[in-house]
Chains A and B, each alone.
Chain A
């Protein structure tokens, strides 16, 4: 015989804002010791036999209790999300809410979630997904930071009100912002900010010949392994072009890779750290420069261990110029894209090879060519396996060993996509015309 009622010892009665809830300590234990419910069941803080009063919103408590019971999040329409988040934060179960809200990332299961519009004038420069599902959006000289709830903005960041070139998350709490220098004042450059407080924690400085110089910081990359480095493409005023390297925690400069004549590092469009190879990929592309330069730098030997450039290559009729490039370490390849969204591949193991353009990936897009403000294609990788490419107002997903297109993501509103980013199991796409970005996420796992 199974006894219908659980042992009385296990039962807990709450009075939340006047409503009575009954649950079990087993259910509440799902919240963890570091939640509001944790201390209630310690020996020294016995809740007693009676009910436990909590001066909070009962509707939200019901949602939280259901979350603890089932692991599923169901927010009734009468409860504003913001209110629910606040209550979850009070109980210390915000992380539970976050992980119940959307599922693990898969490019082919993405659903449009919402669009967020902002007030910043002008074009968006960059959008960067944060590890926890939030994001940072750079417009002109200001960076707006959103947490994963997207309902609330943290204080906006600015580096001496100089034009922002790139943003990167160093960890869930801190982000680095690169900006143009301002002649003669040491403004701009590269700074590290705290997300929540919006405070500038320190600036990364560049020293040439024992003199601190001001510089324009461009594309950014980080390396967690080894040594927590941050890399930036740098332009100084006296031809001090190259890649600066700093320690993420101390902000101290640890290295500088000077650009050699006839090559380009200080104007890079993209930096990418290759962990297995212990190398940094630097890509400088048309139209920022007249020619394209992609190289791999090894900082231990101060060597350019791999390089490719289209200098001197004959221009073909359809003029396939490389507009973005990204290394796929697992495939020993660098993937590039041209303005027609053709994908091309180069072998990382061979120096001086040519691009193998893939016709299978190409989708004829004639007739939908960009109107007045073209946005060039951009690439992104997820876990090395799925490749994403943005073109006009679309993002294409490519999978498999031959990188075949498997999905397209499109939202009509806001014009072309000027930048997109994947992180925290979400995809963010920033539109160029209206000040708006879209959030794409995968639904939580099915009920059955």
Chain B
């Protein structure tokens, strides 16, 4: 055993290290690099996806991720540099096409490369804070192509040039444009904005600045607006065709600023074609365009509104203050209505019924309609005219429309109580003379007034209608109880409630004996049925139908006023009567008498009397005869009284005074109402509260309010505070 050789077992080091072939990484990378080349050279069909994927996987697994990644970067970069050269070499038009083609190639290649290197993308990249393959490909494209010195500015200029050509009417390849813009957006919104949008907006601003200057020198306002609208629509269309949707608001605001905002005053005030001319000529289309364009810029609509308002106020002021126009109240109101119609349809058709414009219209009307103190009277006269004759043959609906329009004007009035006064007078006249054409129309208007101003406002007007109806019944009863009155003159009496009707100083006259006897009979009949009432005759408001036979036997029926009837009856017993004799016999007040004589002796065609001397005016010494030569082709002759339809100056003063009188209790009532709830209030606040409460009906005069306060203090409704004299206290 001893000579047995000791065997030395030596364990040799394992020669094949577990780590794979040192050249493994280089070899594998070569395969992958080759594949990337092939992909870029459109030879991918010969490649095995499984093999390449496995190779990339193995490289990462064996910790060669870094080598793989940096290899990818440098390989892709070198390809992109080649691509960059070929794009640079493209001449003229083909530049964008080449860029687009290469971009598509790169995207396809990138997708394939990413698929092969998916394992690296999933494991190596997140844990080593590297850029993922797809993003890397885009970044490299951006840095090597888009930001290469020879491409960057050329690309920008080409794009801007194409936009410019399209703006000047040329047709460009929008599809190509869209692809290139899409590429910039894919590279990140910062690239799109910095490398295109920013410059695009600048160039556009410059373009439109120049163009708008050119347009404004040679176009009228309407034409200019048409062009601006067209440009705006073109830009919006451009965005939808090939720009980022987010650019729309930016480019439109550039166009709006350059083409509209910068030229607003000039456009609006453009001579012969500006806003005022459009309004005058009812250019709905142009106005609508202006509205839609100006709406887009700050203060645009305000500008239109201000110009419209000042124009409206100016024309309205002329309308209501022109002395020529004041001659005919109906015409005056009709013009106001026409003006309102005109602007209503402008606002409706061109300004899309914009509330702010409607308010401006209302304010303007309120402003100028109240410039003329006679507006309430005229409006009432207009209604009077319409209800007397104007509504004949007009359909019910049209009546309503006219009345609604009148109500609208009524709404603009500050002194609604003045209107009420006149309306009452005019209604009284219509009712008493039986001139009203349509009872329905009358009532409809009263309902409208009622809804507008409340029950109080119309209760007296409604009372007048009731009186008319009752009187009809009374007369029937009267004649039924006096059957013997069938022969001889007929008396028709309207019993009017005091207070409901416009009171006039009762100026009686001596009625002819036949009539006064009849009147007495009626009086006793009426008082017999209604005890405790008092009747007084309003002879100034009556009228009469008389049969007359003149010198040559011509017979006529004369329609005259009560006064005129009294005068004519005198001539049954006399050939000649002097003014003094007539005055004595009838006791008609002098001004009335003069007017009624004037209408019978001085009006051609109605001159049933002859006057000596023949002059227009009635003198104290004049003498009157029956005009035997009177002739008329009508059997019935209506002899009007010479009355100005409009009020005469003294009458106006009187009405005014009565209105002022009526306002006093209303102001006082408002003062007491307010003070009762507030107990203590200072002067200024009280004035403003009262004004607020009353402005539904009229605009109270502060001096008048002050007077009313003084009066209430005197009557111990209120007292001044001892310390602060501006403070009022309510005394319960």
Interface residues of A (CB under 8 A from B): 34-36, 38-40, 42, 44-45, 52-55, 89-90, 92, 173, 194-197
Contact = CB atoms under 8 A, between A and B. Distances in A.
B119 A39 contact: no
Nearest to A95: B122
Interface in B402-451: none
B49 A196 contact: no
Interface stretch (B6-14, B123-131, B646-654, B671-679): B123-131
A196 B128 CA distance: 8
B442 to A, nearest CB: 73
Contacts of A89: 119, 123
B720 interface: no
A197 B57 contact: no
B108 interface: yes
A44 B108 contact: yes
Nearest to A45: B49
Interface string B50-79: 110110010000000000000000000000
B126 A173 contact: yes
Contacts of B51: 55
Interface string B103-123: 000001001100100110011
Contacts of A36: 53, 118
A44 B112 contact: yes
A129 B8 CA distance: 53
Contacts of A197: 127-128
B118 A55 contact: no
A52 B51 CA distance: 11
A418 to B, nearest CB: 30
Contacts, number: 43
B56 to A, nearest CB: 11
Contact of B122 (A39, A44, A92, A173): A92
Contacts of A55: 50-51, 54
A354 B50 CA distance: 68
Interface size class of B (residues with CB under 8 A): 10 to 19
Given A36-B53, A92-B118, 5 more contacts: A34-B118, A44-B112, A52-B50, A90-B54, A194-B129
A55 B52 CA distance: 12
A133 to B, nearest CB: 16
Contacts of B49: 39-40, 45
28 contacts: A36-B53, A36-B118, A38-B115, A39-B49, A39-B115, A40-B49, A42-B111, A42-B115, A44-B44, A45-B49, A45-B112, A45-B115, A52-B50, A55-B50, A55-B51, A89-B119, A89-B123, A90-B54, A90-B119, A92-B118, A92-B122, A173-B126, A173-B127, A194-B127, A195-B127, A196-B127, A197-B127, A197-B128
What 7 A-B pairs are tightest by C-beta distance, nearest first? Answer: A196-B127, A39-B115, A54-B50, A90-B57, A45-B49, A197-B127, A92-B122
A195 B129 CA distance: 12
Nearest to B127: A196
A54 B51 CA distance: 8
A53 B53 CA distance: 12
A196 B112 CA distance: 27
Contacts of A90: 54, 57, 119
Contacts of B115: 38-39, 42, 45
A398 B375 CA distance: 88
A197 B115 CA distance: 24
Contacts of B57: 90
Interface in B598-646: none
A194 B129 CA distance: 10
Contacts of B54: 55, 90
A173 to B, nearest CB: 6
Among the interface residues A36, A53, A55, which one has the most CB atoms of the partner chain B within 10 A?
A: A36
Contacts of A92: 118-119, 122
B394 to A, nearest CB: 74
Contacts of A34: 118, 122
Contacts of A44: 44, 108, 112
Contacts of A45: 49, 112, 115
Nearest to A52: B50
A427 to B, nearest CB: 26
A379 B438 CA distance: 95
Nearest to A40: B49
Among the interface residues B50, B51, B54, B108, which one has the most CB atoms of the partner chain A within 10 A?
A: B50
B324 to A, nearest CB: 76
A271 B122 CA distance: 34
Contacts of A39: 49, 112, 115, 118
Contact of A53 (B44, B50, B126): B50
Contacts of A53: 50
A53 B119 CA distance: 18
A36 B57 CA distance: 11
Contacts of A194: 127, 129
A52 B50 CA distance: 9
A216 B30 CA distance: 50
B101 to A, nearest CB: 17
Nearest to A201: B129
A38 B119 CA distance: 12
Interface in B126-155: 126-129
Nearest to A39: B115
B585 to A, nearest CB: 106
A45 B49 CA distance: 8
Interface in B316-365: none
Contacts of B129: 194
Contacts of B118: 34-36, 38-39, 92
Among the interface residues A39, A52, A53, which one has the most CB atoms of the partner chain B within 10 A?
A: A39
A283 to B, nearest CB: 34
A34 B112 CA distance: 12
A194 B128 CA distance: 8
Interface in B189-222: none
A55 B49 CA distance: 12
Contacts of B112: 39, 44-45
Nearest to B44: A44
A34 B119 CA distance: 9
A36 B118 CA distance: 8
Contacts of A52: 50
A219 to B, nearest CB: 27
A92 B57 CA distance: 11
Contacts of B123: 89
A33 B597 CA distance: 113
A44 B54 CA distance: 19
B119 to A, nearest CB: 7
Nearest to A14: B50
A445 B425 CA distance: 95
A90 B108 CA distance: 24
A42 B51 CA distance: 17
B449 to A, nearest CB: 64
Nearest to B45: A44
A38 B57 CA distance: 16
B68 to A, nearest CB: 16
A44 B111 CA distance: 10
A55 B58 CA distance: 12
Among the interface residues B51, B115, B122, which one has the most CB atoms of the partner chain A within 10 A?
A: B115
B604 to A, nearest CB: 100
Contacts of B50: 52-55
A199 to B, nearest CB: 9
B28 to A, nearest CB: 14
A38 B49 CA distance: 11
Interface string B37-52: 0000000100001110
Contacts of B53: 36
A55 B50 CA distance: 8
